[in-house]
Chains A and B, each alone.
Chain A
Amino acid sequence: MGMTMTQKVLAAHAGLESVRAGQLILANVDLVLGNDITTPVAVTEFRKIGIDAVFDKAKVAIVPDHFVPNKDIKAAEQCRYIREFAREKDIENYFEVGEMGIEHALLPEKGLVTTGHLVIGADSHTCTYGALGAFSTGVGSTDMAAGMATGKAWFKVPSAIKFNLVGKPGKWVSGKDVILHIIGKIGVDGALYQSMEYSGEGLQHLGMEDRFTMANMAIEAGAKNGIFAVDEQTLAYIADHSTKEFTVHEADADAEYDEVYTIDLSTIRPTVAFPHLPDNTRTIDEVGEVVIDQVVIGSCTNGWIGDIRMAAGILKGRKVAKGIRVIVIPATQKIYLQALEEGLIKDIVEAGAIFSTPTCGPCLGGHMGILAKGERAVSTTNRNFVGRMGHPGSEVYLASPAVAAASALTGKITSPEGLDA
């Protein structure tokens, strides 16, 4: 029986000819990741092992990003704890505030993850790198500690759902709309334990940023990982970003899938996930009148340069609606700089929005835009659970940067389509 793309990557890292769904394996990892929330616990576990060095100081990445720049004393203490560990162990990929970014945007940008890699991260959105044709998945802090010590992780080999993408998406339809559409269709546990594998001729119409966004939200369908077939766009991206050796894995023609969906991108409408689950989706045509208080454009899902360009393009020469707080957050320092050089920040600020230094910030209700009771936000982030962005009585509506920026102008959830003229 053939293997899926994910199974190929896993087999290669376990030194096995083949693996099958359900099998438990021990695999070598190319990178172990942690952030300012999960790394402190992992450091404590690591110290219990009683070894001096991490398995490879070039293959551990520690990215303080959630509550950074330190939002309070506790956050500062946590960051100090991991900073000291990074210094002591000579961790090469520890990123201080001036060179950082949100972990899942930073790692691909720095070329630390590439095609065919196997990455574990003590953060559930580690699945983002599937866009590159890598296997990456979120784990617990103990796994991170063990990974740092041994360079290995154990896995239960997943089965897969295949998404055959066809057609070309409309002008205002992005990867965010496609993934919200898919999660709306299969549900928040629709891919429990499974891989979500994307291929098909429609892929050519989805840029790398769209793919990162889609792989990022695999966890919102309960999946272990999301992974994209490698094409010229992938190869061009890694040629631009990474000098690491890479391997292209393809699913076997006779690979077995639990389910195969054909997704016609041309039929997908801009899509919004209503509170309080990412699968509670409606097309923009079904939204009705939803008055908002805040707009957030950013996060590991949608803080890419293309997202900032989209927001700036819509905001340019216009004004955000009176009384609406609009917060735009580039995912990395490099994206920040690019936005500066392209004049995007000027367009955004002149429209009456703010432009922040990279941080997870409001995405997890950390800082930089917490909601009060009863307030509503349109956000380009990935989770709209109860209280995710602040008070348990607040509401988060997940949408694309285009919908978020259009909504900023009107103060209610709005389609960007009307802006065409």
Chain B
Amino acid sequence: MKAQGTVFKYGSNVDTDVIIPARHLNTSDPAELAAHCMEDIDADFISKVKAGDIMAADKNFGCGSSREHAPIAIKASGIACVIAATFARIFYRNSINIGLPILESPEAAAGIRSGDEVEVDFSTGVIVNKTTGESWTAEPFPGFMQEIIAADGLINYIKQGGMA
């Protein structure tokens, strides 16, 4: 499974309130949430992002509350994958569970800039920066995790007979 797209790069400690501000949590509709994704630190994000694009960030991405609305908003915006140096752990879980692929690689996070064209292979963990020619290998997802992502989240994965 692969993704390729243009990168939107952010810094450290991007919290769940930045990803989707609490004032928009009166809905759980993915499209409505996506319309406000990242608006407090990158007002242009939602108008620029195309389906298949990639988000990258430095340390502790998704820190703060355990709201599943945060990865839902990112996914619904069209982002195909998030690469970060580190993720806050409940965000990490929630992303996988709702079917948003994420990869952790401090080296890749340091070597990727906004606007770069990046290709990610979820089965091998290989991240290639097509703009600079650099590449890195993140811990690849084991088979069952790839299946969760492919099934579009944990609930669908179970419906298809997964986790048995």
- Report A's interface with B, CB cutoff 8 A: 22-26, 41, 45, 48-50, 124, 138-143, 145-146, 149-150, 152, 154, 156, 189, 192-193, 222, 224
Q: Which residues of A contact B158 (CB under 8 A)?
A: 49, 146, 149-150
Name the residue on A nearest B144 (C-beta). Answer: A26
Interface size on B, residues (CB 8 A): 27
- Is B88 on the interface with A (CB-CB < 8 A)? yes
User: Bound state CA distance, A23 and B93, in angstroms?
Assistant: 14
Contact partner of B163 (CB less than 8 A), chosen from A25, A26, A156, A222, is: A26
User: Bound state CA distance, A192 and B97, in angstroms?
Assistant: 20
SS class, residues of chain A in contact with chain B = mixed
| Residues A140 and B155 in contact, CB atoms below 8 Å apart | no
| Residues B142 and A24 in contact, CB atoms below 8 Å apart | yes
Per-residue A-contact encoding for B136-150, CB less than 8 Å = 1, 0 else: 000101101100100
Distance from B101 Cβ to chain A, minimum over Cβ atoms (Å) = 13
What are 14 contact pairs spanning A and B, CB under 8 A? Answer: A23-B139, A24-B139, A24-B142, A24-B145, A138-B90, A140-B66, A140-B93, A143-B97, A146-B163, A150-B158, A156-B89, A189-B63, A192-B88, A222-B88
User: Bound state CA distance, A73 and B148, in angstroms?
Assistant: 37
Q: A150-B164, A192-B86, A192-B88 are in contact. Are A50 and B97 (CB under 8 A)?
A: no
| Residues A154 and B155 in contact, CB atoms below 8 Å apart | no
Those 10 A-B pairs whose CB atoms lie nearest each other, nearest first: A142-B97, A150-B163, A140-B94, A146-B154, A152-B163, A24-B142, A48-B155, A22-B139, A49-B158, A24-B145
Contact partner of B154 (CB less than 8 A), chosen from A22, A23, A142, A193, is: A142
| Residues A192 and B93 in contact, CB atoms below 8 Å apart | no
Q: Which residues between 105 and 145 of chain B lie within 8 Å of chain A, taking CB atoms? A: 139, 141-142, 144-145
Q: Which residues of B contact A189 (CB under 8 A)?
A: 60, 63
Given contacts A23-B142, A152-B163, A189-B60, list 18 more A-B pairs with CB under 8 A: A23-B139, A41-B68, A45-B155, A48-B155, A124-B66, A140-B68, A140-B93, A143-B154, A146-B154, A149-B158, A149-B163, A150-B164, A154-B96, A156-B89, A156-B92, A189-B63, A192-B60, A192-B89
